[in-house]
Amino acid sequence: MEGKATTMPAISSVDEIDFAAEAQLDRTIQFPHALSQHALTPMTVFLTGATGFLGAYLLDELLHKTEATVYCLVRASDADAAKQRLVRHLQAYDLWREALASRIRPVVGDLAQPYLGLSEDQFLHLAAQVDVIYHSAGWINTAFPYARLKPTNVVGTQEVLRLAGLGSTKPVHFMSTMAVFFTEAHTDVEVLKESDTPHYHPSLRSGYSKSKWVADRLVAHAQARGLPTCIYRPVRIMGHSRTGAINDMSDILPLLLKGCILLGKYPAFDIETTLVPVDYVSQAMVHLASQEKSWGRAFHFFTPAPIAWRRLMAILRALGYPLEEVAYDQWWQELKQHTRPNTAQPADHKRFFATLLLALIAPHLLLYKRPPLDASYTQEGLTGTGIVCPPFDQALTATYVAYWQKSKYLPMPSEQPTLS
């Protein structure tokens, strides 16, 4: 269900960009060559996004579940700087293993540039080395317009598809998002199936969602031209299900939960919230990619048991945080009050409240009324593996809260501030 009425600004439903035209794949990108001999059991993988959240876990999963050497696209000044960036990133998630270091090959480049920031010769050489491509990189910012995100999220995807067609044809495993379906074009469907095509509608919120819709369609067009592809569409990806580890707290859900805890109050939303842990997504993706029957399919990743907003607040109270339910308008006004310069509170709290305010004003999907989701292909492909998405329940919430406390993102209940 949608949340109760709010005072957030309306988003214009008028687009000046022809998104159907944006989603047309460059005609020079074709796939006439034979399929890579190691398309299902790769000896070499090209991975984008390894310095991102999901990408770190994908890299770890590929190193442990395949024998492949993994070429990782990294923005850096040189190869040594790229390697150090990868090492620091993996160490931050306790994923760095020196014994596996020889199988990680940094590729200095830039997703937003032609040929991924490589020279033409380097691009051709990389294409000759690679068996399979995992494209998980993307610029996630719901406040930015489509035009600002296009070079990375759209043009970058097109260049990845160009790489897939040079030399042997290389399957592409593309990380999309369920948000491509969240428009008025799909609100009346009984169930969103994995076989459904996401149709564009001006009600698609945020430049980020639009850029991912275009990229999603580019991959589908490549599939129609003969490229084996898989499209993976998760709901919001959150921390590891056992450790809670996550270092990117820019998603609206952790921002909102922290805001409620600092205020000691939460808005009276009548919604269900959902997420998928990053370890489920990475494990499922690598396993599904190993099956030929997966080619040409899309896969939906979501928890089978979303949680009611009030239930989530009750869990936070049980974990020690005193929280009072108030009307949304009252909560919104108090939030705005705490962003004002003359408010007597720590400067870091003011900055945080300003960030939360901007996040709530920007297009987001926390309150979006989602149709029921289907995961038949995903369930079929994961049968017998033990790879199961855990429910969003008290245990998972406690895991996340414990990690957020340990990393100082959340105060301990005994340290919860009293705001004036």
Checking if the pLDDT of 415 tops 80, the result is: no
Residue type, 24: Q
Does residue 192 sit in the same domain as residue 259?
no
What confidence tier does 368 reach under pLDDT thresholds 50, 70, 90?
confident
Specify whether the CB–CB gap between 240 and 275 falls below 8 A: no
Q: Residue 65: which H helix or E strand, with range?
A: helix 53-65
Alpha helices (H) in 225-346, listed in sequence order: 252-263, 278-289, 309-318, 328-337
Does residue 222 sit in the same domain as residue 125?
yes
Q: Check residue 202 and give its pLDDT.
A: 93
Does residue 284 sit in the same domain as residue 184?
yes
Instruction: Tell whether 10 is covered by a domain.
Output: no
Does residue 291 sit in the same domain as residue 266?
no
The per-residue pLDDT of the chain, averaged, comes to: 92
Q: Check residue 43 and give its pLDDT.
A: 98
Q: Check residue 12 and give its pLDDT.
A: 38
Half-sphere exposure of 221 (CA within 13 A, CB side): 21
Mean pLDDT along residues 189-217 = 95
Residue type, 372: P
Q: Check residue 418 and give its pLDDT.
A: 61
Instruction: Tell whether 1 is covered by a domain.
Output: no
φ, ψ at 104 (rounded to 5°): -105, 120
Alpha helices (H) in 97-141, listed in sequence order: 120-129
Mean pLDDT along residues 392-416 = 94
Q: Check residue 15 and give its pLDDT.
A: 58
Specify whether the CB–CB gap between 302 and 178 falls below 8 A: yes
User: Residue 372: which of 186, 202, 175 has the closest Cα?
Assistant: 186
What confidence tier does 1 reach under pLDDT thresholds 50, 70, 90?
very low
User: Residue 201: which of 217, 219, 215, 180 has the closest Cα?
Assistant: 180
Residue 331 structure tokens: 């909560």
Q: Which residues contact 381 (CB under 8 A, 6 or more apart)?
A: 284, 287, 288, 291, 293, 294, 299
Does residue 196 sit in the same domain as residue 289?
yes
At 304-324, the pLDDT tens digits run: 889 999 999 999 999 999 999
Q: Check residue 299 and give its pLDDT.
A: 98
At 219-245, the pLDDT tens digits run: 999 999 999 999 999 999 999 999 999
Checking if the pLDDT of 406 tops 90, the result is: yes
Instruction: Tell whether 235 is covered by a domain.
Output: yes
Q: Check residue 414 and give its pLDDT.
A: 83
First to last CA, the chain: 33
Q: Which residues contact 160 (CB under 8 A, 6 or more apart)?
A: 48, 116, 133, 135, 172
CA distance 237 to 215: 19
Q: Check residue 342 and give its pLDDT.
A: 66
CA distance 363 to 25: 27
Does residue 281 sit in the same domain as residue 334?
no
Mean pLDDT along residues 160-189 = 95
What confidence tier does 75 reach under pLDDT thresholds 50, 70, 90?
very high
What crossing angle do the helices spanning 394-406 and 252-263 adopt, rounded to 10°?
80
Does residue 192 sit in the same domain as residue 262?
no
Specify whether the CB–CB gap between 153 and 165 falls below 8 A: no
CA distance 287 to 5: 42
Instruction: Tell whether 379 is covered by a domain.
Output: no
CA distance 303 to 300: 10
Specify whether the CB–CB gap between 5 and 328 falls below 8 A: yes
Q: Check residue 419 and give its pLDDT.
A: 60
Instruction: Tell whether 88 is covered by a domain.
Output: yes
Does residue 322 sit in the same domain as residue 187?
no
Range of the domain at 51: 19-242+275-301
At 93-105, the pLDDT tens digits run: 999 999 999 999 9
CA distance 294 to 67: 20
Q: Check residue 6 and give its pLDDT.
A: 33
Query: Considering all CA atoms of the chain, what is the largest pairwise distance in Å, rounded to the nearest integer?
Result: 68
Half-sphere exposure of 417 (CA within 13 A, CB side): 16
Mean pLDDT along residues 282-288 = 98
Instruction: Tell whether 385 is covered by a domain.
Output: no
Q: Check residue 9 and give its pLDDT.
A: 33
Specify whether the CB–CB gap between 112 and 24 falls below 8 A: no
What confidence tier does 387 reach under pLDDT thresholds 50, 70, 90?
very high
Strands of the 229-234 sheet, one edge to the other = 104-108, 69-74, 44-48, 132-135, 172-175, 229-234, 298-301
Count of domains observed in the chain:
2
Indicate the pTM of the whole model: 0.93
Does residue 362 sit in the same domain as residue 293?
no
Q: Check residue 11 and give its pLDDT.
A: 36
Instruction: Tell whether 382 is covered by a domain.
Output: no
Checking if the pLDDT of 10 tops 80, the result is: no
CA distance 118 to 120: 6
Tell me the CATH number at 67: 3.40.50.720
What confidence tier does 2 reach under pLDDT thresholds 50, 70, 90?
very low
Half-sphere exposure of 253 (CA within 13 A, CB side): 26
